[in-house]
Structure 1
Amino acid sequence: MDYFVHPTADVEDGAQVGAGTKVWHIAHVRSSATVGTDCVIGRNVYLDAHAVIGSRVKIQNNVSVYQGVTIEDDVFVGPCAVFTNDLRPRAHNTDWKITPTVIRRGASIGANATLICGIEVGEGAMIAAGSVVTKDVPPYQLVAGNPARPRAWVNWSGEIISRDMTTPPDFSRG
């Protein structure tokens, strides 16, 4: 095994976990979940069956990533962030439908943020702590609030480069 699993964690048979990844205390990685290389899966993280986690992803404590959620490479997920996967959840519904959510490369999700399923968070985007994200977030946009609204544009390092929300900056210039 070329990854670390804390003795209290559970990585089910059939889960794919990449080299250099660390799965910490009481985390649970379901069979058919996929986790890339060099990730950190924090305390009490739950990765559902068919959840897809890229490489170099850091998922902080108390996060559940459900089936239908795809997290690409280099993403940060803050503690207690919430992902959903059903737009109309009912305990008695036997015909529920998974609604996919995609978090693109290099995005950051703040602590206690809630992401409603069916959205895409763009490359390098930032979700402020406590935000409720109900619609797509463009690449390199910072959103905050409930519901989350555009606040600024950020660079790859997360530094604010513009608060002019009328026109996105030209990221092609590097």
Structure 2
Amino acid sequence: MNQSVILTVVGSDRPGLTKALADAVYQVGGNWLESHLSRLGGQYVGSVLVELPAGRLGDLEAAAQAIDATGLSVAISPSVAPATDRAGDVLAIEIVGQDRPGIVREVTTVLAGLHVNIEGFSSEIEGSAWSGSPLFRGQAQLLLPPGLSVDRLREALEDISGEIMVDFPDGRSND
């Protein structure tokens, strides 16, 4: 029986790190299922979901230690079975606003208060085309609980500040 594990990686960014991970997974007969890898703060960071044949976890740990020797820290954690009781609508949103300390906390506080699950989240700071001041831009994949309208979600997020705009790339504006 196969098992799933999550590799979490952090290290100095340089060419060949993703190949080293892929080599380690392939070497032990694993299957690379899903990943999120990026350059963040000058570091190579990410996570990889891997399916392994039974009894090969020790082999993967050894292959990961070999990668560690080249400056990449790799941690391995067991994966849990996906939840089958996930009810609700999946929604993509984009949030744009003047950057300030606490903006991610404010947004995630609103989402948690509405019982919205964040399925994926990415953000960046960029210069505003008009003022040159820092502009926060975030993208999220959300799982809305049953009964929560898109309009209610938009209102709650825009109530944080008059400077935050919420966009729904899939064109949804109300329910």
Same fold (TM over 0.5): no
Which of the pair has the greater relative contact order for Cα pairs under 8 Å at 6+ separation?
2
TM bucket, shorter chain: under 0.3
Q: TM-score, normalised by structure 2?
A: 0.23
Who wins on radius of gyration, i.e. which is larger? Answer: 2
Considering fraction of residues, name the structure with more strand: 2
Q: TM-score, normalised by structure 1?
A: 0.23
